[in-house]
C-alpha cells in the first residue's frame, strides 16, 4: 500500500452525535489518502445534541484507537477559517445519497469562496453503511431497535445508558 501524500491535512467535520460505523469508514479511507485527518466536531448548540462535545470527543478518541494520523478536535464558527487555522487544504465529506450531495456541494462552494485554496473531497459511502445516519441510529435505539454494527460497541453502550436515563427521568 502506498503512503498518503506528505503534509496534506484534511478536516472531516461533523456533529458526530454519535459517531457511526459509516463515519469510521470515511475516516479510515481518508487516513489512507491524507497524511493527517482532523475529525472536527462542530459545536452547534442549536442542534440540541444528545451528547456533550466532551462526550463526543471521548467516544471518537476511543473509537479511533489504532488509526494512524487521525486526531480529534472541536471548533465553533466557520469551517473554512478553522481549516486554514489548522493548515488544512482539504475538507473531507461522506456522501450517502444525492440529497446529501446537493447540500454538501453548496457548502463546498461557499467554503471555497471564503478560502479559495480550500478543496472539498466527497467520498461515497460504502454500500454497507449508505443508510446509516446519527439521527436514524438515535431514533432506532430510542424505539427499542437493534443498532448492533451501526455504531462502535462502546457507543452503543453509551447510547443505551443515555436513552435509559432519559426514559427514567421523563417518566417521573
Catalytic annotation, residues: 23, 47, 96, 134
Of the CA atoms within 13 Å of residue 148, those in its CB half-sphere come to 1
Instruction: Please state whether beta strands 9-14 and 70-75 pair in parallel, antiparallel, or not at all (unpaired).
Output: unpaired
**Reduced to 3 states, what is the DSSP secondary structure of residue 66?**
coil
Contact 110, 82 (CB under 8 A): no
Helix (H) or strand (E) holding 137: helix 134-142
Residue of 19, 112, 125, 24 lying closest to 70 (CA atoms): 24
* Cβ atoms of 42 and 70 closer than 8 Å: no
Phi, psi of 63 (to 5 degrees): -75, -25
CA distance 80 to 77: 9
Amino acid at each position: 500500500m502506498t503512503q498518503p501524500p506528505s503534509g496534506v491535512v484534511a478536516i472531516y467535520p461533523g456533529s458526530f452525535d454519535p459517531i457511526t460505523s459509516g463515519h469510521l469508514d470515511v475516516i479510515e479511507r481518508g487516513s489512507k489518502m491524507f497524511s493527517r485527518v482532523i475529525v472536527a466536531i462542530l459545536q452547534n448548540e442549536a442542534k440540541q445534541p444528545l451528547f456533550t462535545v466532551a462526550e463526543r470527543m471521548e467516544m471518537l478518541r476511543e473509537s479511533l484507537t489504532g488509526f494512524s494520523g487521525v486526531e480529534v478536535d472541536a471548533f465553533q464558527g466557520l469551517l473554512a477559517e478553522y481549516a486554514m487555522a489548522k493548515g488544512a487544504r482539504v475538507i473531507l465529506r461522506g456522501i450517502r445519497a444525492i440529497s446529501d450531495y446537493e447540500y454538501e456541494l453548496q457548502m463546498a462552494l461557499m467554503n471555497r469562496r471564503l478560502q479559495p485554496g480550500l478543496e472539498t473531497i466527497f467520498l461515497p459511502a460504502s454500500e454497507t453503511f449508505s443508510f446509516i445516519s446519527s439521527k436514524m441510529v438515535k431514533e432506532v435505539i430510542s424505539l427499542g431497535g437493534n443498532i448492533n454494527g451501526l455504531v462502535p460497541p462502546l457507543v452503543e453502550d453509551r447510547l443505551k445508558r443515555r436513552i435509559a436515563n432519559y426514559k427514567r427521568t421523563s417518566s417521573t
